[in-house]
């Protein structure tokens, strides 16, 4: 009796072809994945939601500072709450646009603001005194801006 050993790569590829993958839902491995339920963060979700309720009522919410150790779910909680509010207001024919950025991907505050402006559909204009900027009249349609920055120590 001989035992045939398959190459580990071939074995895994065969399993995938047969629908037997070790990963049931590969989407959960994406950096932007937001689960339907965030475990052990109910209180934090309630606090963020309470702070952003004015947005749901077509008002300007207060400033919100979310801080804590890296990897504890701050970004996830805020994004989930904002997405749920956006889904609700979309049903009520009141549109909001969410723009987020990760400050570790930007070299300075100016680049953060340019990134947020682009996400909101604003086009930067060249000025003589500054490299780029947004003219005030371009921002007239933006009634309220919620900026969520992920700040990391370098």
Is the pLDDT score of 101 beyond 70? Answer: yes
More confident residue, 151 or 21: 21
| 139: Cα within 13 Å, side-chain hemisphere | 13
How far apart are alpha carbons 78 and 81 in whole angstroms? Answer: 5
Assign 138 a pLDDT band (cuts: 50, 70, 90).
very low
Arithmetic mean of pLDDT, 47-71: 89
Lowest mean pLDDT among 30-34, 41-45, 56-60, 70-74: 56-60
How far apart are alpha carbons 97 and 121 in whole angstroms? Answer: 10
Query: pTM value?
Result: 0.68
For residue 2, tell me if it sits in a domain.
no
Instruction: Tell me the percentage of the chain whose pLDDT exceeds 90.
Output: 26
For residue 3, tell me if it sits in a domain.
no
The residue segments making up the domain with residue 44 are 8-150
For residue 1, tell me if it sits in a domain.
no
Total domains in the fold of the chain: 1
How far apart are alpha carbons 65 and 153 in whole angstroms? Answer: 16
CATH number at residue 19: 3.40.50.300
């Amino acid at each position: 009796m001989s035992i045939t050993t398959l190459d580990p790569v071939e074995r895994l590829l065969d399993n995938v072809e047969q629908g037997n993958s070790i990963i049931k839902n590969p989407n959960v491995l994406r950096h932007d994945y937001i689960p339907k339920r965030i475990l052990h963060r109910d209180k934090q979700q309630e606090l963020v939601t309470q702070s952003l309720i004015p947005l749901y009522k077509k008002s300007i919410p207060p400033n919100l500072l979310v801080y804590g150790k890296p990897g504890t779910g701050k970004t996830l909680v805020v994004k989930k709450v904002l997405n749920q509010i956006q889904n609700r207001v979309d049903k009520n024919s009141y549109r909001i646009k969410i723009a987020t950025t990760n400050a570790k991907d930007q070299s300075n505050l100016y680049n953060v603001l340019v990134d947020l402006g682009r996400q909101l559909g604003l086009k930067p204009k060249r000025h003589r005194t500054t490299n780029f900027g947004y003219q005030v009249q371009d921002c007239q349609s933006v009634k309220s801006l919620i900026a969520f920055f992920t700040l990391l120590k370098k």
